[in-house]
């Protein structure tokens, strides 16, 4: 063969050298996948940190990079183990300032006989990665919405509670694109609206009914960094780094709707239209965009409809100016802000109908679990509903304990005993020590005289003047001394029962302190003690008087 002098031709004939790294194509692909998964976690945490700026105490805001405190929701399955592995490597990376601490939490639902084994597996894997681990046991009430929904609610409630207790900022879950598509299909089969069809967002506030009442607490964000990642990619990553994970036997049980969608419906759609997942993911994303617009409009409507005298209430006249569809979105936004679980469509429509057609405080009510919506004059309010602590008659004798607060268990509250200031009218302590002190319910016809130069009035009229809703009045106790009414919660002392402060310097007055009140206060102030300009109620009388209960 003729000698080749051309060096360019020689190079063509020589085998191409491998890259200096010496990595095979498969290794390079695995590294690229790992980098992508890490970048998605980093990006989602960075966005969440920006959202949290100003939400925490001052020391959080003053930190220039706002490092976040992260909880990894760990089940022991492939997806969550992959998330734990990526987050642990990111956290232990030299000179990273994004994450200040990581804690893994396993929620034990007690539904599988292998739950204890899975918990131990998670504990072992966290120890290998030097990540603190905690297992939390929950009770799943399968009645009502089914096991899947009940388990999900219990899990998020437990994660939210643990995040509050440990002052964490973010809960990470390993949901991926396939999960999102499956949720979309399940919601579509159930006839869900736009919010349901949008499946789950990448980031949302993790708020459950039991935590929502803590209005001053900063948010805990639920973040799903991998909702654009296919299940197959997470599986590829788990195998490339040789992760150990457990398989939940319930994932193959056809009695669960999600499993049938995963194993039967999705493959069928893939056979009908290859690339179905990509198209479905695009539809979910577009629906989510539309929902964001609707939520933005609802937030603006909510701001316009808030009552001027009570920012947590809705002014009914302004609310009814909205078209019906915007009323529904506005009401949902308001309920979510107040921590009320959203009712189904039929119950929401019934609530809207009542708002449009009823005019008495006692008639409009929409209750969902431990909260209810009520009409209060010209406004709508949402209040906590707590069952009576003890079942039994509310009328009972009270034991005087030298000025100590008196527990009223059947009234879900306490009667506070407050020493009177010099010259202030009250009930002499010696009378309370010697007399028969009782708490009673209203029976109708009771009268009270609150001021010296004013006539006595029926409690019904005084409650109306004090702007105390009719639906609240039955839960306000009356205090009697030797058969004489001396105090009505929310109104004050009977002035004719008060003793002369010059002759009886040791006098007291009362306040009722409920476990939960309509005004978000631990004390229901007494109408008689308000300054004169504020004695005409907490709101203007723009509505017709409510019929008393």
Spatial contact of 350 and 336, defined as CB atoms under 8 Å apart: no
Superfamily of 27-272 according to CATH: HUPs (3.40.50.620)
Tokens of 248: 């939940």
Cα(367)–Cα(374) distance, integer angstroms: 9
End-to-end, the C-alpha distance of the chain in Å comes to 112
Q: Which of 55-69, 193-207, 327-341 has the highest mean pLDDT?
A: 327-341
Residue in the structure block whose two tokens are 């409510």: 546
- The total of other beta-carbon atoms located within 10 Å of residue 347's CB is 13
Taking CA atoms, 522 is separated from 292, 312, 412, 478, in Å, by 36, 17, 12, 18
| pLDDT-derived band at 125, boundaries 50, 70, 90 | very high
Task: Map out the domains of the chain as residue ranges.
Answer: 27-272, 288-384, 396-534
pTM of model > 0.75: no
| pLDDT-derived band at 408, boundaries 50, 70, 90 | confident
pLDDT over 90 (residue 70): yes
For residue 477, what pLDDT is reported? Answer: 92
| pLDDT-derived band at 3, boundaries 50, 70, 90 | very low
For residue 493, what pLDDT is reported? Answer: 94
For residue 346, what pLDDT is reported? Answer: 87
Q: Look at the chain and count its residues.
A: 549
**Nearest in space to 444 (alpha carbons), one of 434, 458, 430:** 458
pLDDT over 50 (residue 10): no
Taking CA atoms, 233 is separated from 200, 270, 464, in Å, by 20, 17, 65
Cα(98)–Cα(91) distance, integer angstroms: 8
DSSP state letter for 106: E
| pLDDT-derived band at 364, boundaries 50, 70, 90 | confident
3-state secondary structure of 312: coil
Residue in the structure block whose two tokens are 């509250």: 413
Tokens of 183: 């949720």
Cα(215)–Cα(29) distance, integer angstroms: 47
Largest CA distance in the chain: 132
For residue 538, what pLDDT is reported? Answer: 45
437-494 residue pLDDT tens: 999 999 888 999 998 888 999 999 999 888 888 888 888 999 999 999 999 999 999 9
pLDDT over 50 (residue 18): no
Residue in the structure block whose two tokens are 């708020």: 207
Spatial contact of 526 and 490, defined as CB atoms under 8 Å apart: yes
pLDDT over 60 (residue 386): yes
For residue 123, what pLDDT is reported? Answer: 95
Average pLDDT for residues 350-357, to the nearest whole number?
89
| Mean pLDDT for the chain overall | 83
Secondary structure (DSSP) of 72-102? EEE-SSHHHHHHHHHHHHHHTSTT--SEEEE
HSE, CB side, 13 Å, CA atoms: give it for residue 57: 3
**In this predicted model, which residue has the larger pLDDT, 294 or 541?**
294
Which are the contacts of 483, defined by CB distance < 8 A and separation ≥ 6? 436
Tokens of 527: 């109408």
For residue 213, what pLDDT is reported? Answer: 43
| pLDDT-derived band at 146, boundaries 50, 70, 90 | confident
For residue 253, what pLDDT is reported? Answer: 79
pLDDT over 70 (residue 387): no
| pLDDT-derived band at 153, boundaries 50, 70, 90 | confident
**In this predicted model, which residue has the larger pLDDT, 80 or 516?**
80
> Helix, strand, coil proportions of the chain in percent (round to 5)?
40, 15, 40
Average pLDDT for residues 199-225, to the nearest whole number?
70
User: Can you name the CATH fold of 288-384?
Assistant: Chorismate Mutase Domain, subunit A (1.20.59)
| pLDDT-derived band at 512, boundaries 50, 70, 90 | very high
Q: Which of the residue ranges 69-78, 266-275, 377-386, 500-509 would you say has the lowest mean pLDDT?
A: 377-386
């Amino acid at each position: 063969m003729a000698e080749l002098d051309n060096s360019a031709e020689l190079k063509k004939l020589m085998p191409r050298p491998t890259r200096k790294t010496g990595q095979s194509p498969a290794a390079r692909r695995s590294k690229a996948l790992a980098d992508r998964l890490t970048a998605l976690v980093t990006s989602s945490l960075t966005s969440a940190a920006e959202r949290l700026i100003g939400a925490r105490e001052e020391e959080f805001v003053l930190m220039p990079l706002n490092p976040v405190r992260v909880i990894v929701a760990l089940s022991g399955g492939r997806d969550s183990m992959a998330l734990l592995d990526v987050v642990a490597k990111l956290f232990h990376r030299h000179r990273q300032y994004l994450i200040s601490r990581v804690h893994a939490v396993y929620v034990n639902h007690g539904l599988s006989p292998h739950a204890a084994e899975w918990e131990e597996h998670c504990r072992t894997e966290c120890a290998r990665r030097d990540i603190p681990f905690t297992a939390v046991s929950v009770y799943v009430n399968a009645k009502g919405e089914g096991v899947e929904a009940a388990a999900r609610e219990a899990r998020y409630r437990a994660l939210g509670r643990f995040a509050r207790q440990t002052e964490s900022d973010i809960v990470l879950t390993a949901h991926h694109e396939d999960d999102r598509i499956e949720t979309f299909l399940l919601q579509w089969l159930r006839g869900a609206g736009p919010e349901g069809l949008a499946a789950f967002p990448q980031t949302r506030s993790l708020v459950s009914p039991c935590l929502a009442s803590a209005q001053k607490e900063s948010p805990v964000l639920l973040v799903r960094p991998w909702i654009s990642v296919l299940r197959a990619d997470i599986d590829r990553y788990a195998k490339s780094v040789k992760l150990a994970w457990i398989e939940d036997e319930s994932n193959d049980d056809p009695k669960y709707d999600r499993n049938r969608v995963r194993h039967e419906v999705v493959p069928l759609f893939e056979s009908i239209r290859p690339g179905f997942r990509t198209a479905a993911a695009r539809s979910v994303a577009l629906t989510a965009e539309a929902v964001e617009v609707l939520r933005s409009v609802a937030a603006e409507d909510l701001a316009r409809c808030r009552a001027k005298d009570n920012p947590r209430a809705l002014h009914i006249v302004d609310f009814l100016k909205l078209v019906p569809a915007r009323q529904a979105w506005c009401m949902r936004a308001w309920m979510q802000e107040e921590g009320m679980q959203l009712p189904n469509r039929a119950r929401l429509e019934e609530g809207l109908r009542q708002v449009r057609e009823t005019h008495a405080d006692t008639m409009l009510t929409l209750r969902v679990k431990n909260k209810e919506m009520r009409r209060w004059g010209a406004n709508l309010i949402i209040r906590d509903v707590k069952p009576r602590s003890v079942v039994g008659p509310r009328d009972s004798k009270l034991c005087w304990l030298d000025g100590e607060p008196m527990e009223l268990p059947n009234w879900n509250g306490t009667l506070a005993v407050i020493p009177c200031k010099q010259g202030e009218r009250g009930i002499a302590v010696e009378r309370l020590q010697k007399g028969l002190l009782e708490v009673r319910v209203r029976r109708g016809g009771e009268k009270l005289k609150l001021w010296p130069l004013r006539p006595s009035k029926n409690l019904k009229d005084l409650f109306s003047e004090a702007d105390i809703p009719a639906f609240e009045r039955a839960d306000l106790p009356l205090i009697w001394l030797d058969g004489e009414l001396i105090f009505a919660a929310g109104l004050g002392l009977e002035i004719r029962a008060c003793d002369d402060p010059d002759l009886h310097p040791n006098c007291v007055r009362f306040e009722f302190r409920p476990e939960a009140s309509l005004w978000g206060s631990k004390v229901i102030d007494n109408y008689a003690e308000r300054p004169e300009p504020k004695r005409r109620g907490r709101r203007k009388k723009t509505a017709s008087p409510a019929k008393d209960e």
